[in-house]
Structure 1
Amino acid sequence: MFAGFPVEDLVFLAVSLVVAGALTGLLAGVFGVGGGALVVPVLYEVFRVIGVPEDVRMPLCVGTSLAVIIPTSIRSFNAHRAKGMVDMSILKIWAVPVVLGVILGSYIARFAPPDLFKIIFVIVAVFSALRLLFAADRWKLGAQMPGKLLMSIYGAVIGVLSALMGIGGGQLSSLFMTFYGRPIHQAVATSSGLGVIISIPGALGFIYAGWPKMAVLPPLSLGYVSLIGFLLFVPTSVWTAPIGARLAHRLSKRKLEVVFGLFLLTVAGRFVWSLVA
């Protein structure tokens, strides 16, 4: 026994998180996301098995995911930038409104019911997936990116939703950029930089949001951030992120869209099941 947990549960926890970390890094590189769309459902199942209470389980998953995204996004962003695919002008416009949105989302997380996180996750994931799978290039809002005001508004929305979903904002910003005619590969590469902007204030915000719940959170938690989850996810996710980035640039545009769409539907289906079960 260690801190009230059987040894076999700790072994299960460690193996699950190390393997999931490797897959997270791969997805971060391939899709330009921080990997939160995988981290959150994996952590949800792991924390369920070890008995984390339902009312704090989902926000603990989201906060830990945001912490994990920090090094993964940095690694993925550097790999994409080295290939010259990142549009830094977009990131500069989004930086401040995205951070403000993350702060607002973290504040909401302090008072939100657990199901709110799941519902937002499902809505955004399904909408993104349907656009990728069935509409392809037909859903367009314009031939070029909009003005700074609309870009700033959308950046704030990305920040709020990303904080509540535990993601780096990759699928949201990629969706927006492709609506305005940007190629999927450039959208993916630029979105990897957004994960860096979102994850750091997001993780700090969830530490704050979970501080009043410390008494019911599992050992080695810092607010809604599990230090165990962070330490076991990070090494393999950082290692595999550049591999995913290289793979992304070898895939065709359509293959990248289909694979990403199916992945998002799978994740959404899991959370719908948890809401109705």
Structure 2
Amino acid sequence: MTTTHTLDVPGARLHYEVRGAGPLLLVMGAPMDAAAFAPLADALAGDHTVVTHDPRGISGSRLDDPEQDSTPDLRADDVAAILDDLGAESADVFGSSGGAVTGLALAGRHPGRVRTLVAHEPPLLKLLPDAGERIAVIDDIVEAFHREGIGAAWMKFMAAAGFDVGGDDGGPTPPPGEPSEQDLANSARFFAHEMRDTSCYEPDVDALTAGAARVVVGIGAASGGLITYRTSRALAELLGTPPVEFPGDHGGFLGQPKEFAEVLQKVLTGEV
């Protein structure tokens, strides 16, 4: 059974969901919402109390000021507030992509609240030797969004991330299906108010290595051509810990939730 909750935090009202029983595990993305993680959460709920949420400004988590930017630190404070609302002192955390960046901010800003953090492919561009070039690409994507719209921005984003976006004629391949109004709203918020702050975040490595939290970096088995493969390897090297391979690529939990959950459970129990 899944229960839904709302929580007022400074500047927003958050939507979060709870399912399962056992040790507390937070599963999060950014900008991906709770619904995107439902198959993974269901696969984990037999052994854990799994909490998913919509990041502020995304789907069911509404903002007082729709123009407010979404920073990793602000999202981390929201997650700490969810822990408070649950009456939980600490939890294990799995974050993917921007959610991994949120998790890193949470572990750094709120010592003692995170037991094990699995940071799956955080897009930390400032850790790369060509950071300046990569951030310039991010700025170009934001400009494309304002100038040409969501579709053009997504195509530039996917190409910059390392995904194959070429059709048979060498042109871009549009994503399958028609996006909902909420999908479009989430995308607009991502490009206008979230992507740059997330991509340019610099984790406090000293706090992460000195803190009580165990930090594990996850990398998709099929992510070798992606920019997040490089950023994940860079983070693991700074932390002095080997990365753990997960099924699939950047979104492996979407296509293989059961297999992904099995690896995650092994990481959380210390088998990996």
The TM-score, its normalising length taken from structure 1, stands at: 0.28
The TM-score, its normalising length taken from structure 2, stands at: 0.28
Relative to its length, the structure with more strand (as a share) is 2
